[in-house]
Amino acid sequence: MNKSLTRSIGFWLLIVLSLASGAVGGWLVNSQLSTMTATLLDGTATGVEVYVGQSLAVVGSVLIGAGVLGILIALALVALRSLIPTPAAAPVEPIDWSAQTVDAEIAAQDAVTDADDSAPACSSAQAGDVATEAHADAELTGTPRS
């Protein structure tokens, strides 16, 4: 079996439920047929044991069939999965530890550049408000505007 199929919960659930269905169906058929046979042979059979027993035996047969069908589907899944090729593992290149220090320096320079670029930009309305406030401050303090 392929590893991805054996790790599938649905696949294992199919197998377990198929086996359980077959086992319950087999138990039901066996118990009903043995009860019907025993009561018919000794002459104590009632209508309930005979007619209901037949219906329950049919239900058990259906459960056995469902279990067999589930196992056959699981086998078909295994066969189909074995036909699908698995991709080959990609070779991993060895790590060049000397390049790590150069990469760290480049990353640090990029971080400084990104911090400068990420300064909040203001709209023209905000720029006008800032210029007005600077003019008002200059008049209050008596310093010329720059």
Give per-residue pLDDT as tens, 73-116: 999 999 888 888 877 778 888 776 666 666 666 776 776 666 55
Query: What angle is formed at CA 74 by the lines to CA 72 and CA 76, rounded to 5 degrees?
Result: 70
Q: Where is mean pLDDT largest: 58-67, 85-94, 102-111, 134-143?
A: 58-67
pLDDT higher at 52 or 144: 52
How far apart CA 138 and CA 144 sit, in angstroms, is: 6
Nearest residue to 15 (alpha-carbon basis) of 79, 81, 71: 71
Q: What is the mean pLDDT of the chain?
A: 79
Whether the CB-CB separation of 41 and 35 falls below 8 Å is answered with no
Which of 108 and 24 is assigned the larger pLDDT? 24
Confidence of residue 68 (pLDDT cuts 50, 70, 90): very high
For residue 63, the number of C-alpha atoms closer than 13 Å in the C-beta half-sphere is 19
Report percent pLDDT > 70 for the chain: 65
DSSP state of 119: S
Q: pLDDT value at position 135?
A: 54
Q: Using the predicted structure, report yes or no on whether residue 13 has a pLDDT greater than 90.
A: yes
The answer, yes or no, to whether residue 126 has pLDDT greater than 60, is no
